[in-house]
Amino acid sequence: MDDFPSLRLRPHQADFVDQFLVRSDSRTLLIAGAGMGKTVTTRATATRMLKQGLADRVLFVADQHVLKRDWENNWPFGAKLGDVITASLATTHAELARDPDSIWRSAIPGTRWLLLFDGIEGAANRLETIASDALSRFPGSRALFVGQRAPDWQVDSKFAFDHAFFDPDALAIAETQAHLRPLAPSIPLLVKIQRKLLQLDDLNWRQFEQLIAQMLEFDGYQVELMKGTKDGGVDVVAIRDLGGAGLFKSVWQAKKLRADRKVQLSIVRELADTRLEHGASKAIIVTTSVLTRGALARIERDRYLLGKVERNDLDRWIDRMLADG
C-alpha cells in the first residue's frame, strides 16, 4: 500500500480490497457500520483498480451532494497514479436517475467501468436497474454497492461476493453476528437492545459513542467518529447536505452516565466553546441521564446553537430507528 499514503487501511478494509481485486464478479455488495471506513475502502478500491489496469474509468454515485463534492475535491486521494484526473466521474443517485445516458453517451465503447454506488439504502432497486444497464453496455465492467443495510433483494442470487451482508432478521442469527463482529463491532448493539439481550445502560462509554454515530449515519448524516477519550471534547462530527441551503455541521458529545448523575452546566459551557472551535452550526449533548436545571437553561438560551438529547429523547430515537429498520 506504499502508493497510497493518504489511504491508511485497517486490516478488514485491506482484506476487502485485496479480495475484490482478485475477483471478477460483475456485482459486489459491501455492508459496514458507522465508523468502519466504507469511504476509505471505496477510495482505495478505485485507485488500485485504475493503477493495476483493472478498470479504465470510475463512476462514483453518491446519495448526497456533499459526498459527491468530497469525492471530486479529493480525487485521486494522494495515490501516485499519474494523469488520471479525468478517469473519475462523480454524480448523485438523483442526477443519474434523471438522465443515465448523460454518462454513457460520451464513453468510448469497450470502456471497463468501476461503478461505485454509495448509500444504497432507499434507492437499491433503482440503482440496480441503472447498474444492469451499464453492465450490459460495457462488458467487463464491475459494480460495487455500498451501504449500512442490505437491500431488499435476493442477495445470494445477485452476488457471488458479498461482504458483511445483513438485515434485521439475519442479525438475530448467531452465525451472522459472529461473521459481522470483527468487521463492524458497533452493528450488533441496536439488535441486542431490540432483542432485550442488552440494555442501553450496559454499554461502555466507547460503545455509546459508536451507537450515536451509527444512528446519525442512518439518519442521513456524513459521520466522523472521533478517536475516543473520556474527558470531554467532541465524540462525533456529523454533516448533512441541505441542498440549496448548504451544509449543516454539528458536533456531538456523548455522555454515558448513571441515571443519578446529571450533566452539569460546566459541560454545556465547554461544548459551546467546542462548537466555535470546530466551526459547527450546532453542538448537541446526548446522554443516558438528564441535564441539570442550569444546563437546560443555557441550552434554552442558545437553542439555535446548542441542543440536547436526554434519556427519554434517546429512547424514542432508538425506538424510531428500530421501527424504520
Q: Kindly tell me if the per-residue pLDDT of 180 is higher than 60.
A: no
Give the pLDDT confidence of 281-303 residue by residue, as tens digits: 999 999 999 999 999 999 999 99
Give the pLDDT confidence of 196-214 residue by residue, as tens digits: 545 777 788 888 898 898 8
Average pLDDT, the chain: 79
pLDDT of residue 312: 92
Exposed / middle / buried, residue 188 (Cβ in 10 Å: 0-12, 13-18, 19+) = buried
Higher-confidence residue: 320 or 297?
297
Q: Lowest mean pLDDT: which of 20-29, 108-117, 165-174, 207-216?
A: 165-174
To 5 degrees, how large is the angle CA 35–CA 280–CA 305? Answer: 120
Cell of 167: 438485515
- Model's pTM, two decimal places? 0.51
The Cα–Cα gap between 178 and 197 comes to 16
Beta strands, E only, 119-235: 142-147, 161-163, 222-225
Three-state DSSP at 38 gives helix
Nearest to 41 by CA among 25, 56, 21: 21
Q: Which class does domain 11-180 fall in?
A: alpha beta
Three-state DSSP at 80 gives coil
Give the pLDDT confidence of 9-47 residue by residue, as tens digits: 777 788 888 888 988 888 888 877 666 678 888 888 998
Strand 282-287 and strand 113-118: pairing? unpaired
In this structure, are residues 28 and 144 in contact, taking their beta carbons and an 8 Å threshold? yes
SS3 content of the chain, % helix, strand, coil (to 5): 45, 20, 35
The Cα–Cα gap between 169 and 302 comes to 42
Taking the domains of the chain in order of start, what are their residue ranges? 11-180, 204-324
In this structure, are residues 149 and 166 in contact, taking their beta carbons and an 8 Å threshold? yes
* Mean predicted confidence (pLDDT) in 208-235: 80
* Longest CA–CA separation in the chain, Å: 67
In this structure, are residues 217 and 34 in contact, taking their beta carbons and an 8 Å threshold? yes
Please give the full DSSP string across 205-224, using - where no structure is assigned. Answer: HHHHHHHHHHHHHHTT-EEE
- What separation, in Å, do the N-terminal and C-terminal C-alpha atoms of the chain show? 36
* Mean predicted confidence (pLDDT) in 64-74: 83
pLDDT of residue 12: 73
In this structure, are residues 291 and 253 in contact, taking their beta carbons and an 8 Å threshold? no
Give the pLDDT confidence of 51-68 residue by residue, as tens digits: 899 999 999 999 888 888
The Cα–Cα gap between 288 and 206 comes to 13
Beta strands across the sheet bearing 27-31: 88-92, 57-62, 113-118, 142-147, 27-31, 161-163
32 torsion bin: left (phi>0), alpha (psi -120 to 50), beta (else): beta
Q: Which helix (DSSP H) or strand (DSSP E) does residue 307 occupy? A: strand 306-309
Cell of 80: 501516485
- Looking at this protein, which amino acid is placed at residue 257? L
The Cα–Cα gap between 219 and 276 comes to 24
Which pLDDT band, with edges at 50, 70 and 90, does 174 fall under?
Answer: low
Q: Which class does domain 204-324 fall in?
A: alpha beta
Three-state DSSP at 259 gives coil
